[in-house]
Amino acid sequence: AQSVSQHNHHVILSEAASLELGCNYSYGGTVNLFWYVQYPGQHLQLLLKYFSGDPLVKGIKGFEAEFIKSKFSFNLRKPSVQWSDTAEYFCAVNDYNTDKLIFGTGTRLQVFP
Amino acid sequence: GAVVSQHPSWVICKSGTSVKIECRSLDFQATTMFWYRQFPKQSLMLMATSNEGSKATYEQGVEKDKFLINHASLTLSTLTVTSAHPEDSSFYICSARRLVDEKLFFGSGTQLSVL
């Protein structure tokens, strides 16, 4: 069965620090990859996605993620975080064959001013 | 942007009663809606895939007689937790796939507490 691993459960950073959240998936077939964000008290929102093409994907609010097929990874990055980035971040994988969206356990990011 | 309304956002019920959760796509049509469950500090787990006009597809380990799903229109899917027990207490989230471009949009979730 497919699975998604997010290694960092809780990350604490100061403003302007750089961010990298890890995401690995276990599936050898064709996948679509997503990062979702859930700000406190709000809905899940799509941050960025990878379907095909350039493996470096740029999303909203300065986030980007790089798909490295050989490592089954899709890490999320931001060069300089802001206090407003405090949220829960979920990596997800969509399996072409089953059309299911499988989520990682999430990473809670806290950014202090 | 597209909006998915999930109602209620919070419900407390007695053990043995049934609770219905609604998921509506307010400004788009969705042939497919998904229901997820999230336990504290755990991932979102897909419970079932709901297709308009047909029976829902349940994930392994999810009791279809306990979690009744109805998707009667292109804008509404409902999840009914029947004979709820304390172990059903959880956060339930729906998502809707927009027909025109297949993008997914999420509801705000429902926190269910069964006493």
Q: Is the pLDDT of residue B39 over 80?
A: no
DSSP state at residue B60: T
H helix runs in B1-115, sequence order: none
pLDDT at B41: 66
B48–chain A nearest CA distance, Å: 10
Write down the pLDDT at residue A7.
87
- Asked if the model's pLDDT at residue B20 lies above 70, the reply is yes
| Residue in B closest to A9 by C-alpha | B41
Which residues of chain A lie closer than 8 angstroms to B95, CB-CB? 44, 101
Task: Tell me which DSSP letter residue B16 carries.
Answer: T
Q: For residue range A1-60, what is the model confidence (pLDDT) as tens digits? A: 678 999 889 999 999 999 999 999 987 778 889 999 988 877 788 899 998 899 999 999
- What is the per-residue pLDDT across B71-115, written as a single tens digit (0 to 9) for each? 889 999 999 999 999 999 999 999 998 888 878 888 888 999 999
Q: Tell me what the mean pLDDT of segment B33-44 comes to.
A: 83
Note the Cα B45 to chain centre separation in Å: 11
Confidence of residue B35 (pLDDT cuts 50, 70, 90): very high
Is there a contact between B49 and A4 if contact means CB atoms under 8 Å apart? no
Nearest CA in chain A to B47: A100
DSSP string, B84-103: --GGG-EEEEEEEEETTT--
Question: Quick check: B44 and A43 CB within 8 A?
Answer: no
pLDDT at B1 over 70: no
> Which tokens belong to A51?
């379907």
**Site of tokens 């302007």:** A16
What pLDDT does residue B11 have?
Answer: 95
Which DSSP letter does residue B83 get? S
Q: What is the pLDDT of residue A1?
A: 66
For B86, other C-beta atoms within 10 Å of its C-beta total: 9
Closest Cβ opposite residue B43 in set A43, A44, A106: A106
| DSSP tag of A69 | G
